[in-house]
Amino acid sequence: MVRKLTRREFITIGLVSAIIASTPLILRIDNNNKRVKSPLSSKEQVSNSNSIIHLPYLTIYGKGGEFTIMESSNIFMKGKCEAGSGTCGILEAMEYLKKTFGEGLVFLFGSFYPLSSPSIPQGIRIDGNATLFLNSQSVPLAISLLNSRIISPRIKLRWYTNQGKINYILSRRVSFSL
């Protein structure tokens, strides 16, 4: 016999099942049955705690197909999105931080129109308040950024023209889950 669920019961069951399903990711049990608080590496655990850790960073400002990369208050690089790797300076900033410091943070502000999808270096995080306008060539870049979880949820992904439904789906956030 099938019983109809109320909306409240359905939501409660859904939330409980999501919590139960995600528990192994949050709490890991190692070989000695000791609890490990997070699946993050020890370096990431320290940076997520209340202690202050200074990471090297670059700031990129994008507007109208052009970008400016700033290091502290100095202009590090300036150009157009179609120049270089075609990522509006994002890849160049990530490679510089990786090569020079081994880790770091790239802050994005404004709007960016990446035109290609090169492979991205690991160990560099992306944060800020920006919008990446995607096209068919730059979608693989967005997927790799989302899958590697190095991009902040504050970075919005949009299609480069106003496609209504596509931008609505992209605004719902986890649209590229694989």
User: Which region among 30-34, 142-146, 166-170 has the lowest average model confidence (pLDDT)?
Assistant: 30-34
d(CA 132, CA 145): 12
- Alpha-carbon Rg for the chain in angstroms: 20
- H or E element that contains 68: strand 66-71
- H or E element that contains 168: helix 165-171
What does the pLDDT read at residue 107?
Answer: 92
What does the pLDDT read at residue 19?
Answer: 65
Which among 87, 92, 51, 86 is positioned nearest to 71, based on CA atoms? 92
Q: Calculate mean pLDDT across residues 24-41.
A: 42
**Residue 8 φ then ψ, to 5°:** -65, -45
Collapse the DSSP code of 142 into the 3-class scheme (helix H, G, I; strand E, B; otherwise coil) and give the result: helix
Q: Which comes out higher in pLDDT, residue 131 or 38?
A: 131
Collapse the DSSP code of 104 into the 3-class scheme (helix H, G, I; strand E, B; otherwise coil) and give the result: strand
Q: Which comes out higher in pLDDT, residue 19 or 177?
A: 19
State percent of the chain over pLDDT 70.
67
Flag whether pLDDT at 109 surpasses 90.
Answer: yes
